[in-house]
Amino acid sequence: MSTSSVSKGCFVFKPAQQQQQPKKRKKTETETESPSLESWFCEGCESADSSGSRSRFRLCQELWDHIRSETQVLQDELNRKVLDSLLDFVRTRRPGGRHGDWASQMRASEIPTAALVLGVNVPDHDVTFQSLSELLLDSVTPHVASVEAKEAPVLKQLMKRVLERLMKTAVEDVEDGEDGEDGGDGGEEEQSGTPSHRTVHCSLGQLSDWYSSRTKRSSSSSPGKKRSSVDRDVPPRPPLVIIFKDLEAFSPRVLQDFILVCSRYVERLPLVFIFGIATSPSTLQHMLPHSVSSLLCVQLFQSLCCTQHLSTVMDQLVLTARFPFKLTGKVLQVLLSVFLYHDFSVSSFIKGLQVSLLEHFSSQPLSLLCCRKSEALLQLSQLGPRDLDRIRALASFQRYLEQQDSQDQDRLRTDDAFLKEVCHRLIKDLHKYHKSYYPTLRCLHTLTSALPRYPLGKQIRELHLICLEQNVWENQDYQAALKLLRMLAKDELLTLLHRCLDTLQAAKSKRTRRAALQLEELLCRFKQLDDVTETQDYFSSPIKDLQKKTDLFQLQKTLLQLNETRRSRKLSPFERLRAEAVELLDSLVRTHLAPPESQPLHEVCYYSSSSTVRRHLNAAPRTSIQAALSCPYFYLQNENLRTEDGSVSNAAPDLCITYKLHLECGRLINLYDWMEAFSTVVSAAEQLDPESGGSGGSGGADEVQHARFIRSVSELEFLGFIKSTKKKTDHVSRLTWGGC
């Protein structure tokens, strides 16, 4: 029960009597994680008592649970089309199936294969494959195996993983000459329907015997019992589905050998392959030669584009008034930049949203008011003098205070009851602002996204960022968009106005409903309008003059007359109505699309620390490693490591001591001198005389210190701080400069 090591470590030895004790009930996720998370949240909260921090944690957790459930439902809906197609493909894998149109074109020697192109957003693939596996297990087949490239570097490991997950039992590696032994063991391990712990050999022959026994037993068991609706959907010989999550990462040789082996058992095993492809369908042609790819009958499936997925997620989670938590323009720009320039992962975007939510509730004491309107008003009535002083210190409330008369200013500064009364109205106005902001934003995007060159952006998120940063009506692109709207044709304008009307009518704000009534009245006037004859009257004579044969002087005279006629003529009824529609849109924008900073108390709902989010999402590994090596106390929480001047204690880990000593060297470091300095520091920590020689007896570092030094130097080289050099054999070259 002992071990030796050249560095400090933690070793666990399980007593023999504990192995025979019954296992305790596994704690649920809420029992294990919630207390630690709550304690971390309450300890890290800024300027809050224990009761207030617990309330904020409860609000944060409830809001995140709501967002997470909405996200899961949304992702299931977005993946439903491609997943349903895959399920139908697996059901029709065999000729003569229920839908035998595609399967009838497949040769009997081919393995049906689905090439699922998911895109480069690799972090999102796990969610898709998890949903696919669950759907296959629920409605198609109980035999599904998912494998990754890191689990199968060689063919033996790939075969072992596939058999273990299909047969749900332990599998031994195949040894030479043992492939035919214990041939009948594979079909007897699941008599009671539970996974068995019997060990079988790793070969497809064992899988074939096991599958034959399973299908015979399922067909012969309870012949007089009627099958349920779920059982009727499962065929008598359910397919064996093998999912390759990351096809590009697999070794081409391993994949080729596995396909060749499986092709020999295609008549005995109803195999179906699903390849997860991140780049292009041509990957199959590059990885597999024709002799191998001809054994597959491949059908291509394309998932939803990640940018469309992001637009849908933003539409349901960010651009809505259902969730009180909001992001400022800079924070949202950071999340979008990480998505567009790093990973294209919607899952990472949602994690960034979770980080922002957690940071907002932990750093802002007034986030108690970031909830539904009724609950926020209740929380407001229970605020103490300390929280009311925080409200008075808000920048938005200071601007609001400057707009009031002197008497109200004095009352707001001194009278807590009057302050609560005013904040009661301001909270209501803030919720009304959100209910009017998003419908107006969608209307403006509907009209401007149809214009040439997209003056306010093609995606609604681009327009939203503009509106968050400034008054959008002061933007030059906005003025250019209004000019283009005043030149739209009647049919195009009416189509866009009808879409805006649907958006305004679906809103729950009284202000937007009044705007919807005005727009509906305009559309009725458009419907009654018929200005075709008037337009012909205005332009008939100049156009006819232009069509006549004339000289240069007469042409110039006619063009001048045409220009004067256009300037002096009255607007047609359609042009007047079109101008009224544009003015109505402009008034809506100026009324409801003011930036959030213009709203008092917006800080309770909006998170604005973009630097914190960037630090969490775009971490700098080198800076973090240098900080850990320079200040190990903050990571290990050992009082012996605490220092006042920023130096490293001689009781610090070997790696920290070696790192600190290497900072005192130049470009080339002498290993012997470095080791002597290390031995001096370590001996001082162990209260030994470095000149005594230790156990070595020859002076300097003993064998244990020598081993510890070599280990720490190797770790520094692995971390990228030093490297070997050919200039001097007993020196190493330093790669970094400076330190924390």
- List domains and CATH numbers for the chain: 92-174+199-215+235-304 (3.40.50.300), 309-528+591-607 (no CATH), 621-734 (no CATH)
Return the pLDDT at 699. Answer: 47
Structural contact between residues 190 and 151, judged by C-beta atoms closer than 8 angstroms? no
Return the pLDDT at 585. Answer: 94
User: In the structure, what pLDDT confidence band is assigned to residue 510 with cuts at 50, 70 and 90?
Assistant: confident
Write out the two tokens for 706.
């020598």
- Among 490, 473, 156, 445, which residue's Cα sits nearest to residue 314? 445
- Among 669, 677, 674, 666, which residue's Cα sits nearest to residue 737? 666
User: In the structure, what pLDDT confidence band is assigned to residue 7 with cuts at 50, 70 and 90?
Assistant: very low
State the pTM of this model: 0.78
Average pLDDT over residues 433-450: 95
Return the pLDDT at 27. Answer: 42
Pick the range with the lowest mean pLDDT from 201-215, 231-245, 504-518, 556-570.
556-570
When mean pLDDT is compared over 90-104, 583-597, 629-643, 647-661, the highest value belongs to 583-597
Q: Does residue 354 register a pLDDT over 60?
A: yes
Write out the two tokens for 124.
């999102």
Return the pLDDT at 219. Answer: 60
Return the pLDDT at 432. Answer: 94
Q: What is the 3-state secondary structure (H, E, C) of 272-317?
A: EEEEEECCCCCHHHHHCCHHHHCCEEEEEEECCCHHHHHHHHHHHH
Q: Which tens digits make up the pLDDT trace of 76-89?
A: 888 899 999 999 99
Residue, of 547 and 416, whose pLDDT is higher: 416
Q: Which tens digits make up the pLDDT trace of 389-408?
A: 999 999 999 999 999 999 99
Return the pLDDT at 547. Answer: 53
- Among 362, 380, 383, 382, which residue's Cα sits nearest to residue 371? 380
Average pLDDT over residues 636-661: 83
DSSP bridge pairs for 242: 145, 273
Of the chain, the percentage scoring pLDDT greater than 90 comes to 57
Q: Does residue 24 register a pLDDT over 50?
A: no
**What is the average pLDDT value for the chain, to the nearest integer?**
82
Q: Which tens digits make up the pLDDT trace of 232-285?
A: 455 578 999 999 999 999 999 999 999 999 999 998 999 999 999 999 999 999
Structural contact between residues 52 and 390, judged by C-beta atoms closer than 8 angstroms? no
Q: Which tens digits make up the pLDDT trace of 511-536?
A: 888 999 999 999 999 888 764 444 44
Return the pLDDT at 687. Answer: 64
Pick the range with the lowest mean pLDDT from 17-26, 342-351, 428-437, 664-673.
17-26
Average pLDDT over residues 45-60: 75
Return the pLDDT at 499. Answer: 95
Degrees, nearest 5: CA angle 49-50-54: 120
User: In the structure, what pLDDT confidence band is assigned to residue 601 with cuts at 50, 70 and 90?
Assistant: very high
Structural contact between residues 239 and 141, judged by C-beta atoms closer than 8 angstroms? yes
Q: Which tens digits make up the pLDDT trace of 471-486?
A: 999 999 999 999 999 9
Q: Which tens digits make up the pLDDT trace of 145-196?
A: 999 999 999 999 999 999 999 998 877 765 544 443 343 444 444 433 444 4
Structural contact between residues 671 and 730, judged by C-beta atoms closer than 8 angstroms? yes
User: In the structure, what pLDDT confidence band is assigned to residue 106 with cuts at 50, 70 and 90?
Assistant: low
User: In the structure, what pLDDT confidence band is assigned to residue 633 with cuts at 50, 70 and 90?
Assistant: confident
